[in-house]
Every structure is written in structure tokens, then in C-alpha cells.
Amino acid sequence: MLLGRAIRACLDDDVPEIRALGRTVRKWWTEILNHHRTGASNGPTEGMNLCVKKSKPHPQFAGLVSAKIERG
């Protein structure tokens, strides 16, 4: 399998970052193959999480927002 050969090549490389890439891809092997088999993606979920995250007030400014509300 092409992915297996690519991982082995990365793991045998002299460059530490390439070996780290090989370890990471090996760790995510099942997820990578499942994506290509099914087309499934968590992209929509991540997009929704980003929208929620952007709509929450930032903790650094939470005191300012509540102070404005209290003063009216």
C-alpha cells in the first residue's frame, strides 16, 4: 500500500522532522484511510465550533462587558 511505503520511507529518513512526520502519519493511519474510504470529515463540526468560539465573549473583556451592563 502506498501509504505504508510512504510511512516506512519517512521513518527511515535521516531528518528528524521527516521521521516525526512518519510517526504522526502512522499514528493517524486508521483515520486517514477512513477519510479516503468514506469521505467523512469533521470540517462541518470544526466550522460550527469556530462560530461558537467567536460568539463567546473573551474572558479578558468579560469584566468590561458586565460593567457596561450594570451601568446601563
pLDDT in tens, 20-58: 999 999 999 999 999 889 998 888 999 998 888 888 766
* Residue in this structure with the C-alpha cell 470544526, named with its chain if needed: 46
Q: Which has the minimum average pLDDT: 3-7, 13-17, 18-22, 47-51?
A: 47-51
**Which helix (H) or strand (E) is 31 found in, with range?**
helix 29-38
Q: Which pLDDT score, from 0 to 100, does residue 16 have?
A: 97
For residue 13, with 0-12 CB atoms within 10 Å meaning exposed, 13-18 middle and 19 or more buried, which class applies? middle
Q: Which pLDDT score, from 0 to 100, does residue 69 have?
A: 55
> What is the residue extent of each domain of the chain?
1-40, 43-72
**pLDDT value at 11 more than 70:** yes
Higher pLDDT, 54 or 62: 54
In the chain, the amino acid numbered 25 is: V
